[in-house]
């Protein structure tokens, strides 16, 4: 298909969607060869189940309060998958009624993502450290409340968002894996590690979509990238709340705990932006409109501006009492 100099989002999506099968093969794993949650959990049918459960709980006993708060926030975020799937199926160029094309990508991506919340939920239940009902209430709230990430139905905006968000999720799970290992919780470390690896593959996929759009529609893609960064990338759990709270009330406390632990910080946000600028070769793209050139100038200056601000940030000191956690008090 020959792409005209001026074209619609739908034309670009249709063009890229012709190669979905090869995209799925490159970035997603075959289901029968992929890991499943039961690979990492005690086998309830085994005569060793009680011993394995006791070992799991012993490993989790020393995990600190902030770590548990961040882990539960990550689990709730993963469990809100229905929101993300419904959002993607409403993007321009994705017809959920068609079995092939972009809807196939969304289904296959969702199927891989579904294992993450499933595995973490079961593990944390077995740990005995969490008030499961309160976590489940927060999960139901987050799905019911949805999210507002500023992308609308625009596929260009959506792919910038997913590129950024999958990288952020990769960092968060990778860091929780490291911390779990430091506290001797080896099984949880393995779990967070394999989830992090999935997120890295997914990030590569969404970044490749944007790279292809830059080849086809560079000026429009540049303007959209700048617009998303001016508005800032909002995390998918930004409406997080606990029972009895207003919408979004728990999110800042969850974010503060992640910042204190070093699981996800303002410097990470800046590093992700910098990596995307380099990945998409923003400095080298030619034949841009005047508006797109100005957008590029703004993007190129942004990481240094963010680093200057991030360097002045202090770690939040105020601990918060989450009702998700069974320990009697925060440190």
Kindly name the residue from 139, 151, 162, 169 that is annotated as catalytic.
Answer: 169
Kindly name the residue from 66, 112, 154, 198 that is annotated as catalytic.
Answer: 198
Q: Say how far apart CA 71 and CA 84 lie, in whole Å.
A: 19
> Residue 199 catalytic?
yes
Kindly name the residue from 116, 173, 238, 253 that is annotated as catalytic.
Answer: 116
Which element (helix H / strand E) includes 61? none
For residue 147, CA distances in Å to 137, 222, 255 come to 17, 25, 16
Phi, psi of 149 (to 5 degrees): -105, 5
> Residue 324 catalytic?
no
> Residue 198 catalytic?
yes
Kindly name the residue from 66, 74, 77, 78 that is annotated as catalytic.
Answer: 78
Kindly name the residue from 7, 11, 14, 35 that is annotated as catalytic.
Answer: 35
Question: What is the full DSSP assignment across 166-210?
Answer: HHHHHHHHHHHHHHHHHTT-HHHHHHHHHHHHHHHHHHHHHHHHH
Kindly name the residue from 173, 202, 238, 253 that is annotated as catalytic.
Answer: 202
> Residue 245 catalytic?
no
Which residues have C-beta within 8 Å of that of residue 3, sequence separation ≥ 6? 11, 12, 15, 216, 217
Kindly name the residue from 113, 154, 256, 268 that is annotated as catalytic.
Answer: 113
C-alpha 8 chain-centroid distance: 28
Q: Say how far apart CA 125 and CA 215 lie, in whole Å.
A: 47
Question: What is the full DSSP assignment across 140-166?
Answer: HHHHHH----S-TT-HHHHHHHHHHHH
CA angle 182, 323, 245 (to 5 degrees): 130
> Residue 293 catalytic?
no
Kindly name the residue from 66, 166, 220, 256 that is annotated as catalytic.
Answer: 166
Kindly name the residue from 154, 199, 220, 268 that is annotated as catalytic.
Answer: 199
The catalytic site residues sit at: 35, 78, 113, 116, 166, 169, 198-199, 202
């Amino acid at each position: 298909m020959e792409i005209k100099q001026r074209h619609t989002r739908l034309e670009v999506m249709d063009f890229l969607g012709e190669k979905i099968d090869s995209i799925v093969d490159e970035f997603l794993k075959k289901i029968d060869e992929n890991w499943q949650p039961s690979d990492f959990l005690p086998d309830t049918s085994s005569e060793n189940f009680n011993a394995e459960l006791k070992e799991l709980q012993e490993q989790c006993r020393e995990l600190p309060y902030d770590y548990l708060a961040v882990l539960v926030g990550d689990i709730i975020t993963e469990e809100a998958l229905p929101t993300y799937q419904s959002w993607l199926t409403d993007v321009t160029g994705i017809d959920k009624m068609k079995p092939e094309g972009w809807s196939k990508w969304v289904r296959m991506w969702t199927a891989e993502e579904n294992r993450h919340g499933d595995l973490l939920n079961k593990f944390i239940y077995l740990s005995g450290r969490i008030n499961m009902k309160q976590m489940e209430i927060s999960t139901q709230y987050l799905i019911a409340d949805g999210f507002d990430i500023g992308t609308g139905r625009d596929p260009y905006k959506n792919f910038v968002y997913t590129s950024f968000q999958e990288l952020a999720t990769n960092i968060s799970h990778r860091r929780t894996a490291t911390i779990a290992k430091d506290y001797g919780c080896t099984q949880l470390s393995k779990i967070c590690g394999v989830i992090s690896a999935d997120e890295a593959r997914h990030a590569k996929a969404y970044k490749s979509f944007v790279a292809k759009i830059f080849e086809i529609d560079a000026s429009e893609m540049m303007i959209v990238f700048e617009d998303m960064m001016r508005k800032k990338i909002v995390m998918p759990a930004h409406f997080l709340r606990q029972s009895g709270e207003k919408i979004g009330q728990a999110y800042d406390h969850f974010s503060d705990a992640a910042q204190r632990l070093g699981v996800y910080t303002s410097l990470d946000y800046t590093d992700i932006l910098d990596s995307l600028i380099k990945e998409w070769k923003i400095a080298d793209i030619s034949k841009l409109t005047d508006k797109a050139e100005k957008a590029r100038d703004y993007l190129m200056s942004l990481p240094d501006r963010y680093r200057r601000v991030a360097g002045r940030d202090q770690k939040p000191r105020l601990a918060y009492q989450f009702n998700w956690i069974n320990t009697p008090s925060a440190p």
